[in-house]
Amino acid sequence: MDVLPAGVINVLFFGTDSRDPKSLGGNADAIIVAQLSADHQSMTLVSIARDTYVDYAGGGRGKINGSFPAGGTEKLRGTVSNLLGGLPIHYVVQANFTGFINITRWLDGFDVQNQKATSVTVQSTGRRVTFPAGTITLGGTDALIYSRERKTMPLGDLDRAQRHRAVLSGMVSRLKERLAEDPAGFAELLASLYGNVKVTGPLDADALTGLVPAISAVDAGRVTSLMVPIRGFGTVNGASVNLLDEARTAALAAALEQGDVTGYVERYGAGYAPTGG
């Protein structure tokens, strides 16, 4: 039985930069809205770069990653919803560094389509990690290293936000593979995943087995990857920020409200470089 409600479903995924395994605090440095289509067969991933300068739900302005420490999950949820024209957020899923690494290990790694070849030295160990362009497999701590890298890429945090979408898409594909490999043990896998995240919304651990039909239905080839568009970069109170392309953001919000971004992509494409608008 599918436990998800009928129609379009919007899920806010975010990851904090907390290094404390027991803490779910910190800044929300990875922010993605995943929209599942009404037929639950296709998905749109929309990331919001962490330095995007926005109005906060309930008042105030600042970088979107600061809305979470300013007021918790509900403030971040409200801020994201308002940014996207009041888009309803049905579920919120949150993880920290430790939870993300544990999920990667429980999945036994996953593949991503890496757009930009990079190489980074891990400060804590001195290990050099290289990520070639093309299909690569991420396992263990490498998935976190891949997701956090930005200084070696031409568009910095915008490229990193694209990697966040690639990681989430790869995880969904890997879940489908794990379901096919071991249907009987899949419920146990989901319970393990649930234990490494915080879920806000009407979904508890006992209901996870009802997600199997939804996971099976998603077509990995029908995932659209987008970013809330920015027009450029600026400085506010001495801090570097991303400046919204408000007109294009409104067009994206309208498309998400309709549950179909096809027209938006046809008009604007799926690129994420600053628009200059």
Q: Is residue 273 part of a domain?
A: no
Q: Measured between alpha carbons, how far is 169 from 172 in angstroms, rounded to an integer?
A: 5
Give me the domain span that covers residue 124: 9-268
Overall pTM > 0.95? no
User: Is residue 132 domain-resident?
Assistant: yes
Q: How many whole angstroms separate alpha carbon 215 and alpha carbon 218?
A: 6
Residue 238 domain-assigned (yes or no): yes
Q: Which of 172, 110, 178 is nearest to 140 (CA)?
A: 110
Is 198 within the bounds of a domain?
yes
Residues 200 and 24 sit within 8 Å (Cβ to Cβ) = no
- 274 in a structural domain: no
Domains identified in the chain, total number: 1
CATH number at residue 214: 3.40.630.190
Q: Are 46 and 30 in contact (CB under 8 A)?
A: no
Does any domain span residue 58? Answer: yes
Both structure tokens of 25: 């605090």
What is the rounded CA–CA span in Å between residue 151 and residue 59? 32
pLDDT per residue rounded down to tens, the chain (277 residues): 456 777 899 999 999 887 776 767 778 889 999 999 998 888 999 999 999 999 999 999 999 999 999 999 999 999 999 999 999 999 898 988 888 998 899 889 999 999 999 999 988 788 999 999 999 999 989 999 999 999 999 999 999 999 999 999 999 899 888 888 888 777 777 777 777 888 888 776 665 666 666 777 777 778 999 999 999 999 999 999 999 999 999 999 999 999 999 999 999 999 999 999 7
Report yes or no: 63 and 177 within 8 Å, Cβ to Cβ: no
Establish if 275 belongs to a structural domain. Answer: no
What pLDDT score does 223 carry? 92
Tell me the torsion sign for CA atoms 226, 227, 229, 233. Answer: negative
Domain assignment present for 4: no
Neighbours of 252 (CB within 10 A): 25
| Number of Cβ within a 10 Å radius of residue 271 | 12
Per-residue confidence (pLDDT) for residue 207, from 0 to 100 = 59
State the pLDDT at residue 205: 62
